[in-house]
Amino acid sequence: MPATPSAQSLASFIDHTKLTFAPGEDEEQAIKDLCQEAKTHGFAAVCVRPRHVKLCTELLTGTTVQVATVIGFPQTKVQKDDEDSNPTLGSTPTTEKVAEIQQTLADGATELDVVLNVGLFKSELTDPELSQTKAELEALHQAVGSVPIKLIIETTLLTPDQIRRITQLAAKTGMTMVKTCTGMVAGPAVQGAIVPDVLGIRAALSELEKFGTEPSKVQIKASGGIKTVEKAQHLIDAGASRIGTSSGVELVSNF
């Protein structure tokens, strides 16, 4: 388990994220600012929409900052109540996800955050093998080659047992990280990344290890609603090795 970071090392946990824009916001300038902040503070990565990968690659070549992008990611916020009854997150067809992966890799992406097809996963919970979900994850893993892939499972829509099952499938199909949330689910009860979910992911990985599987390389990314140093520290103490947040500068400045 990673140790609680010092003021100097907190930045190395952070994926500095810019996925939404205010009406009329200059996207190009916002992405340039994001990359400059990442270089200044030594963040692990920037995380951006596929359309911004080329620019980030140009700006960050020669630095240690990784260029992460999102695949099958919602364009706008969705409501938790709607997603609970009819999940749409990650429902982009596998072929389109693969094509998006191939394009972003060509543009220079060095990490990929891919959204789980939550509806598909939930529809086959009676299948011990989760066959269709497994097939998609295997196709995604094949498409990325050796590039790190983070599976966004959207914990806010899952039960603890569902978190356990999808975490273990992610490990078995070669995912590099299990990521908690997109940050795009809205609702009065939505908390985003929380410690119990990170602990549940950790426990699921540990359970696999007991039975001979080797999930030791699978890491955890906590993302969604992380706006304070205290919350970031609690999530890291729980086992997160990456923190996805749009508040990275505020976190390292207020340590």
CA proximity to 223, closest of 232, 210, 214, 211: 232
CB burial of residue 216 (10 Å; 0-12, 13-18, 19+): exposed
Task: Give me the catalytic one of 18, 150, 179, 231.
Answer: 179
CA distances, 32 to each of 2, 60, 73, 150 (Å): 31, 10, 22, 24
CA proximity to 195, closest of 242, 230, 241, 234: 234
Specify whether 150 is catalytic. Answer: no
CA distances, 158 to each of 118, 180, 200 (Å): 9, 10, 11
Cα torsion angle, 166, 51, 39, 37, sign: negative
User: 116-150 burial by CB neighbour count: b if 16+ within 10 A, else e?
Assistant: bbbebbbeeeeeeebeebbebbeebbebbeebbbb
Task: Give me the catalytic one of 107, 113, 150, 231.
Answer: 113
Specify whether 179 is catalytic. Answer: yes
CB burial of residue 191 (10 Å; 0-12, 13-18, 19+): middle
Give residue for tokens 């080329």.
Answer: 54
**Interatomic CA distance for residues 79 and 96, integer angstroms:** 24
Specify whether 113 is catalytic. Answer: yes
Catalytic residues: 113, 179, 221
